[in-house]
Amino acid sequence: MKLLKETKIGQMALQNSMAMAPMTRSRADVNGVVNESTVLYYVQRNSAGLIISEAVNISKQAQGSPFTPGIYTQAQIDAWKKVTEAVHEKGGKIFAQLWHTGRVGHSIDKGGMLPVAPSAISIQGQQHFTSQGPKEYETPRALETVEITQIVKEYRQAAINSIEAGFDGVELHAAFGYLPNQFLVESSNQRQDEYGGSIENRSRFVLEVMQTMIDAIGEDKVAIKLSPSIPYNSIIDSNPTALYTYLIEELNKMPLAYVHLMNAVFPTDNLPQYPRDVIGTFGPLTKHVLIANGGYTRESGGLELEKGIANLISYGSLFLANPDLPKRFELNAELNQPDRATMYGGNEIGYTDYPALN
C-alpha cells in the first residue's frame, strides 16, 4: 500500500506517505500561546509521515480568528518547543504552517484595528467567526507599499522563530483566501504598484516571502500550500491556469521542501476557467515533492499516489478524528467520525479524546 511506504522530503526521512494537514483548532489562549493539551494532540498523531501544524500567526496584525496560536513572542515560541520536542521524542516530523489572514478577520478581535489587504475590497456573501459570534466582513485597509516590505520581514522572523521552536521546517499558507492568496488574484488585488496588475506583479509578494524564508533558514525547509481552484473568501481570478503555472515555474527555481496543492473542494460550475483536476493540471509542473490535499479517503489517496504525480497525501478531518490513521488504513479498520461541533475552540472534548484502536 503506497500510502504506508516510507518517503523523503529533502534529506528528511518520513515513515510513510501520509501527512496530517493543517487544521485550525482555536485552542490557544488569548495571547496566542498553546498549552499542554496541544502537546498531547500532536503527539497522538505522530504516526503521520509529516505533521503540518495548524496555521500559526506571524504577528499580532496577522491574526484573524480568536484563540489561534502565534510564533512572534518568546512565550509562544517556548510553548511550541514543548510540542516539537514531544513529537520528535516519539519519532515524528513536524512543519509549522505560517499564517497572515489579511482581510479574513474582524476588528472585534484585532483591538479595534481594521484587517489589512492588498486592496480595500471586502469579502462578500460570507460571515466571519469572531469572539462575539458571526459578523459581516468589514472593508479592509489597503496596505501601503512600505508595510508590505515589513510583512515580508515578519515572515522571515517567523521562520527563524519556528526553527528556534524546534519545527523541522515551515509551510507558507498561500491558500484558501488568506493574505498571500489575496495578493495573487484579481478579485482582491487591484493595486497600481509593483505588487498589482500583471501576473508577475501579483506573484511578487509570495515569491519574496518564500525567498526571504529560504535565505533565513536554508534549503529544503520552506514549503508552500496553494489552492488554485478554490473561490472561497471571494478569491476569483480570470485565468488561474496562467497564474499558477507562472507561480509554480518560479517556485521551481527555489530549493523548496515541497509544494502542497489543495483540490477544488467547492462547486465551480459558474467558474469554467477553474480546473477541476488540480493535481493533474498543476502537479506535473512542479519539480518539488508534491503533497496532494482535499477530500481523500484510504482508497482515493492510494489511487492518487499510483498516478505518480503526488508523493504524499495529506488528510485533515480524518486525522483530527483518528489519531492512529495510518494504522487504521493498514488494517482497513473502521474510522471515527469527526464531530464538527467541537472542531473550533473548547477543551479536550473533540480534541484529544478521540479513541485509538485497542
The catalytic residues are 178
| Burial class of 169 by CB neighbour count within 10 A (0 to 12, 13 to 18, 19+) | buried
* Cα 323 to the center of its chain, rounded Å: 19
Helix (H, G, I), strand (E, B) or coil at 129: strand
The closest alpha carbon to 228, from 201, 255, 266, belongs to: 266
Amino acid at residue number 267: P
Label the pairing between strands 7-9 and 116-117: unpaired
C-alpha cell of residue 104: 479574513
Q: Taking phi first (over 0 means left), then psi (-120 to 50 degrees means alpha), and beta for anything else, what does residue 11 get?
A: alpha
Amino acid at residue number 299: E
State the residue for C-alpha cell 501601503. 144
